[in-house]
Structure 1
Amino acid sequence: MTAVDDPDRMIFESSEPMDPLAESEDAQVKNRAKVGSARPSSLLYTFGVGSIMDLPQFSVMPAGLDDWEPIWRRRETIPVIEEPRLLKVVQLHLGPRVQQLRPFPWQPKARAMSQEGSDLGIPARVFPQWLRCTGCDYLGPLSRFSYTNTHPFRPDLATFEHVSCPGRGLNKNKTPGTKGKTRRSPAVPARYLLACVNGHLDEFPYALWAHRGKPCPAAPQPDLKLIDSNIGQGAGAVIVCERCRQRRSMSEAQGAAGKRKLPGCRGRHPHLNAFDSSCDQQPTTLMMMGASNLWFASTQSIIVMPRTAEQDKTALATRMRTLLTEEELTDYGSVAKILRSLLNAHKCDLTDVTDEELLAAAAEALAPPPSEEERKEKLRQWDPVELLVPEWGYLQKPALFAQQQDASGLMVTETATSPDLPDQIHRVIAVNRMKKVNAVLGFTRIDEMDRVNDLATRLVKLTRDGRPTWVPATEDRGEGIFLQLDENKVADWETKIVNTGLWKAHRQAHRHNFSRRFSATAADIDPDTRFPAPRYWLIHTLSHILIREMAMSCGYGAASLSERLYAWPATPDRPAAAGLLICTTSSDSDGTLGGLVALSQPERLRGLVADALQRAARCSSDPVCGQRTPRHGEDFLHGAACHCCSFASETSCERANRFLDRRFLLTLPTIDDERVPGFFGSVDGY
């Protein structure tokens, strides 16, 4: 880096090494030992590829998919999650090269003390790679610290230490309780980073920051200290050069004025150990290591439904492309006997596949993929609701429920409703068993995908070439309850809502929020196309109050319950939907204990719905909560809803507690606003 005309602004100079930490990374001995563990769900939504995962003593970043390949090659066969409907969506987003959905590299132990599977795991890199000594405040790159983990079965003891730490003040050169021994102090990550909306992440240039973009006059690589006079408060940290005694507070890098002093983006991807050729983000954004907007997962999920014959053919075609070479497919794609022999050699089960089906799948495998222009056009027009339409359609056909003995893992039962259940609830279905498959598309930084029109360029690539052949996925099993509202009543209620002042206020708040918070990298789109219909607000709010009520009697915690909303008006391509599925899913047996589906029994559900509506009629924050309406440029995306009455945990809500309003459920008392007709009428004479 070098100084420019502005003495407080810094840029990277091409004559310098691309990565000032390159030599420190190369100097480190690669450690293949286990340093931590996480559940598949957290690796999917919280600590996935490119995120920063806090360990007890330091932090790591799960590496890109290129580094996963050698891990899986330690097995003769690589397990695959076969779900054609989800794979098709992944290919739409990432390209036709993606041919597989793979689970995380893990296998269960056959015995308690067995070492089976110990050679599997997700590779990760230490990041940030600038650490701070807790004994003397020394700030330096990874190569200046020593990695230790003396206990092979205690990965939580792994740590980086500052050998020969001088200590502070009266404690200098002394180790408590010892005499004549070298002091070793643990080091912790230096928490400041640089990020950009294109998904790049970099170390903060501490040395150049302290010297205001110039080299140290006393030494080419001076020792630094990060002195934090107010632990936990970023503004209290000061970077001090030990050689020339220059110092600079980190508070200068914060806010709009501080942003102008930061360098431009170098296009660094730490999870790939690589750089993009260019990035137009000038300057970068200061980011704290634990910031909630440092990493946003972009995933898609489906509930596995019984397959159609067309989906079976697509699944077999995908297996052919994976197991056979292009030459084998071309030469023998029309010879069923040879094709069957080749696939049997790869242990592909073709017991129930006829020769005609085999040849049809081969023809599909040989068909050229759509062009890149066609894929991008389909992606531009794609609506995530398309994933929900087959599920909604299946639940509308009770005659299919008896045909559930297949690999889908789905078992649903239509349940009788209590006469005292509100007649606005049309059907109740007990989901005794279900399987949910979740796939990773990528991730973003600073802005989540909902703010950026799902632009493909916003997704940070998972491989160095940006063209993965597979993506990580998880298979969760669980149970749930499906409630369907009366479509005629919902449609009549919507016609009353769309002309109310409350609905107009919510629409205007959404437009303002959209224009103010929308990412600069987004396309120019109409905010009204992203504004959910009144039925969505209704069903979303109903889902939240039911989740809060069910958590008190189903045996699962509220954070374990999640919603899946089917709420869209009729279009020429699909019929209207008005229903919700409250479910719990887990990668182990925790999601199939039966406590949730038991609530679908008529009397239990009647009491549960009545209690939920009764609680929703009042909030301990009323009248403030009950009369919350955005006005005068306010842009919050909820109405009469708060943590006391309607908000759910982040793991439960699919829209981050947006688009909620109890006034759409029940007619609540008001003082200066018009009374909005609630879908379920009034409670207690309201």
Structure 2
Amino acid sequence: MTDTQPRFAKAPKVLDPLGDADTEREAGRKRNYAKVGSGRPSSLIYTYGPGAVMDLPQFTIMPSGLDDWDRIWARRDGAPPVIEAPQLRQVVAKLLNSKHIELRPFPWQAVAFTGSEDGRDLGVPSRVFPQWLRCTGCDNLGLISQFSYANVKRYRPDQARFTHEKCYGRPDRPRSKPSAQTAVPARYLLACPDGHLDEFPYDWWVHGGAACASGIDHPQLRMTDRTAGKGAAATITCTQCDKKRPMNEAQGEAGAAKLPYCRGRHPHLGTFESGGCGNPAKLMLIGASNLWFGSTQSVIVMPQSEADRTDSLAVRLRGTHGEDLAEVRGNAKLIRMILKSQVELEGVDDATLLAAVEEALAPEAPEEDQEERIRTWDPVDLLVPEWVYLQKDPLGPRQEDPASGLTLSKRDWESTWRGGSVSRVLAVESLRKVNALLGFTRIDDMDRVGDLPRRLVPLTRDRPEWTVATEDRGEGIFLQFDEARIAAWESVVEDSPLWQAHVEAHDRNFTNRFSETAERVKPSTRMRPPRYWLLHTFAHVLIRQFALTCGYSAASLSERLYAWKESEERPAAAGLAILTTASDSDGTLGGLVQLSEPERLRQIIERALYRARRCSSDPMCATRTPSGNEDFLHGAACHCCVMASETSCERANRFLDRRFLVELPGGHGPLAFFT
């Protein structure tokens, strides 16, 4: 077992809502198993993925682990659909220790017409979580079994709710006749840094860890809340023994000492870690923004190479007559006969087919080698194939690849502009971006999946065979910088006091923020080179200027940076792409790519650089340099001039400094790339 595959204390309870509905129907009991809500794929992968708490109008749910999704796919004939993105699939397979993992879309199907039954059997299985509910009429606090559930209107999932059927009202305002009142989720949870999440033990809390003095095993509790907007302001009362305890005692470091230790629960998997977790638990609210951080990787799909085609075919072959293929390996004719009705082999030559079979039958690498690959993996590796392909000039004025969805056009850019700083421009008229979910963390986000593997919560109970992915389509502009100019400028910057101040601040930041990781990783290996700071800052000022003319908001534009020095593993890169994508199958409208026309783009860049020379927070912003114990990872940059929204920036507004871009007051003029 690796850190990403924990041992579980007991077999999990199977989640199969459609199977349960069939069982109830066969037994003659009528139950309504209508869907309770919907979400866009982009929100389900970035905000409400497996393990996240998703708000519905009347209660909250948690999408389950991918094991339970298999039962949804199994009700359909044929293999589930697969998203083709070989470069991304290979990286996901490496990070999840699963050689032949697949990328699949969310289980969804468009309906042909209103009232159609198409796709009704598809959906994301979910659990109601948390299962402690509070009656809005009388403040009674209890488990879900004490309340009734109603979801009677198939096309009104917003009316699905839990109710307290015989509510007599609050003690100070009782009703003469009982009535049904809506029950809502009790808003407190327990979480730990290793990604576990659990219900708050209200009965344990109010009784101080002891049993109720009345001798009742499950005493009736009440949650009263008379003050809004002041954190954990509720009070828990036991109606049997009259004990009371406020929730604000559980807040902060002092409150954490009063809470039980984490039990190692993963509610999306229905499991507990064997022996518990042992970490101190932390009080959380249902709507807390740090309750779920999805760990994703994305790639712009490039035309497939021969190796990519072999890899894609090997993945399809793995699940098709694996033992039979082992018997006939090396015989292309017999292999085609076996796979004739199951795998599309048109256009696949014998050499590629035999290579794919050998790859599909190859044994897994030793566990130690897999862990070493994860530890040494660099996210830059995912960008290298994109950079290498974008170095090739399009064949003709417009080159389109239907399989990948990529369409490129070269612009007649004058390489003499600004001394040849921007040497080449490509219009990315259409592209396909694939995003895959690897896992998630709680309480704190991680920059890298491989930093602390135990903190990356898995999406499955066992080694995964697939993970969920989404496809976005859009457009963009690619700008390549002159490598000779970048290298010469970079050598000057690396010898400057300003750069040394940034390096020292990064070391302090890494040690403070990633104390456990810093014990075995040199902070300098995570510091981005000067060219990254330059291109990152340039991308941000471009996004701000593009947003004024392209018709898209700045939040809908994103950056993709290719900025690294030459090494044995990869060639040097200095370029960037500004993209906009949408999950709609039609993509975007072309407003961004129109700005790649040379004269228009030149004017936009000039305006962006001019605006970068001024900030409403100057001179404070223009002279900001970390010193002493300061560990911020930016220099002359703030929300008034350079910083962008989290949807646009790939580095959370770190590694930015206008002084590397243009000349600012303060004596750092020689460090400006654009003079």
Above 0.5 in TM-score? yes
What's the counterpart of residue 8 of structure 1?
Answer: none
**1:232 and 2:229 correspond:** yes
Aligned partner (choices 427, 435, 440) of residue 437 of structure 2? 440
Compared CA separation, residues 431 and 403, structure 1 to 2 (3 A): closer
What's the counterpart of residue 40 of structure 2?
Answer: 39
The 5-angstrom pairing of residues 98-497 of structure 1 reads 98-168=100-170, 171-173=173-175, 180=177, 182-218=178-214, 219-324=216-321, 326-346=322-342, 348-398=343-393, 404-417=400-413, 422=418, 423-450=420-447, 453-465=450-462, 467-497=463-493
Q: 3-state SS of the aligned residue for 1:173?
A: strand
Whichever residue aligns with residue 150 of structure 2, its letter is T
Is the 8 Å Cα contact of residues 374 and 450 (structure 2) preserved in structure 1? Answer: no
List per-residue Cα deviations over 1:280-328 (Å, max 9, x = no partner): 433112222222221111111111111111221121121111222x321
What's the counterpart of residue 627 of structure 1?
Answer: 623
Aligned partner (choices 75, 88, 91) of residue 89 of structure 1? 91
Q: Aligned partners of 1:574 and 1:40: how far apart in 2?
A: 34
**1:678 and 2:675 correspond:** no
**Displacement of 1:442 after TM fit?**
1.0
The 5-angstrom pairing of residues 565-580 of structure 1 reads 565-580=561-576
**1:655 and 2:651 correspond:** yes
Q: Aligned partners of 1:126 and 1:588: how far apart in 2?
A: 30
Compared CA separation, residues 635 and 368, structure 1 to 2 (3 A): same
State which drifts further: 117-126 or 160-169.
160-169
What's the counterpart of residue 10 of structure 1?
Answer: none
**Displacement of 1:333 after TM fit?**
2.5
Is the 8 Å Cα contact of residues 60 and 126 (structure 1) preserved in structure 2? Answer: yes
**1:511 and 2:507 correspond:** yes
**1:596 and 2:595 correspond:** no
Is the 8 Å Cα contact of residues 399 and 409 (structure 2) preserved in structure 1? Answer: no
What's the counterpart of residue 70 of structure 1?
Answer: 71
Is the 8 Å Cα contact of residues 447 and 519 (structure 1) preserved in structure 2? Answer: no
The alignment yields a C-alpha RMSD, in angstroms, of 2.6
Q: Aligned partners of 1:398 and 1:227: how far apart in 2?
A: 68
Aligned partner (choices 619, 636, 639) of residue 640 of structure 1? 636
Q: 3-state SS of the aligned residue for 1:323?
A: coil
Compared CA separation, residues 384 and 255, structure 1 to 2 (3 A): same
Q: Aligned partners of 1:590 and 1:244: how far apart in 2?
A: 63
Whichever residue aligns with residue 270 of structure 1, its letter is P
Is the 8 Å Cα contact of residues 35 and 155 (structure 1) preserved in structure 2? Answer: yes
Is the 8 Å Cα contact of residues 261 and 279 (structure 2) preserved in structure 1? Answer: yes
Q: Aligned partners of 1:330 and 1:660: how far apart in 2?
A: 54
State which drifts further: 330-339 or 98-107.
330-339
Is the 8 Å Cα contact of residues 125 and 271 (structure 1) preserved in structure 2? Answer: yes
Unaligned residue ranges in structure 2 (runs of 5+): 1-8, 25-30
State which drifts further: 601-610 or 121-130.
601-610
Compared CA separation, residues 235 and 609, structure 1 to 2 (3 A): same
Q: 3-state SS of the aligned residue for 2:149?
A: strand
State which drifts further: 47-56 or 455-464.
455-464
Q: Aligned partners of 1:459 and 1:42: how far apart in 2?
A: 20
Q: Aligned partners of 1:195 and 1:564: how far apart in 2?
A: 34
Is the 8 Å Cα contact of residues 225 and 234 (structure 2) preserved in structure 1? Answer: yes
Compared CA separation, residues 18 and 245, structure 1 to 2 (3 A): farther
Q: Aligned partners of 2:673 and 2:135: how far apart in 1?
A: 60
Is the 8 Å Cα contact of residues 99 and 364 (structure 2) preserved in structure 1? Answer: no
Unaligned residue ranges in structure 1 (runs of 5+): 1-15, 175-179, 682-686
**1:500 and 2:500 correspond:** no
State which drifts further: 359-368 or 43-52.
359-368
Is the 8 Å Cα contact of residues 394 and 409 (structure 2) preserved in structure 1? Answer: no
Whichever residue aligns with residue 429 of structure 2, its letter is N
Compared CA separation, residues 323 and 232, structure 1 to 2 (3 A): farther
**Displacement of 1:335 after TM fit?**
2.7
What's the counterpart of residue 6 of structure 1?
Answer: none
Q: 3-state SS of the aligned residue for 2:671?
A: coil
Is the 8 Å Cα contact of residues 98 and 464 (structure 2) preserved in structure 1? Answer: no
Q: 3-state SS of the aligned residue for 1:351?
A: coil
Q: 3-state SS of the aligned residue for 2:175?
A: coil
Compared CA separation, residues 521 and 191, structure 1 to 2 (3 A): farther
Compared CA separation, residues 263 and 521, structure 1 to 2 (3 A): farther
Q: Aligned partners of 1:521 and 1:223: how far apart in 2?
A: 46
Is the 8 Å Cα contact of residues 82 and 105 (structure 2) preserved in structure 1? Answer: yes
Compared CA separation, residues 389 and 420, structure 1 to 2 (3 A): closer
Whichever residue aligns with residue 387 of structure 2, its letter is W
Is the 8 Å Cα contact of residues 481 and 575 (structure 2) preserved in structure 1? Answer: yes
Is the 8 Å Cα contact of residues 137 and 170 (structure 2) preserved in structure 1? Answer: yes
Compared CA separation, residues 667 and 370, structure 1 to 2 (3 A): same
- TM-score (normalizing by structure 2): 0.91
Whichever residue aligns with residue 379 of structure 1, its letter is I
Q: What is the percent sequence identity of the aligned residues?
A: 57
State which drifts further: 130-139 or 433-442.
130-139
What's the counterpart of residue 666 of structure 1?
Answer: 662
State which drifts further: 638-647 or 65-74.
638-647
